[in-house]
Amino acid sequence: MHIVAIAWLYVTVLMAMTESNVVAGILTLLFYGILPLALLLWLFGGAGRRRRAARKAARTTPAAAGDEPEPPQ
């Protein structure tokens, strides 16, 4: 996935460099490159964020780790 992101940024940087003025180049880079790529990486990174959150919750919650004390008899 990261190789696709790097390739897309390479293409959009080259597109931005061929624009007629600096403002058009910055807008091209922003609207064709950075914003769509950030959205794509955020959408496809959801599973990893959920896994990290589950691991963090399992580490911080004693009941999830099996360290729950036995009830008194």
Q: Which position has the higher pLDDT, 34 or 70?
A: 34
Residue 21 confidence (pLDDT) above 90: yes
- Where are the domains positioned within the chain? 2-61
pTM, two decimals, is 0.65
pLDDT value at residue 1 = 76
Number of Cβ within 10 Å of residue 32's Cβ equals 15
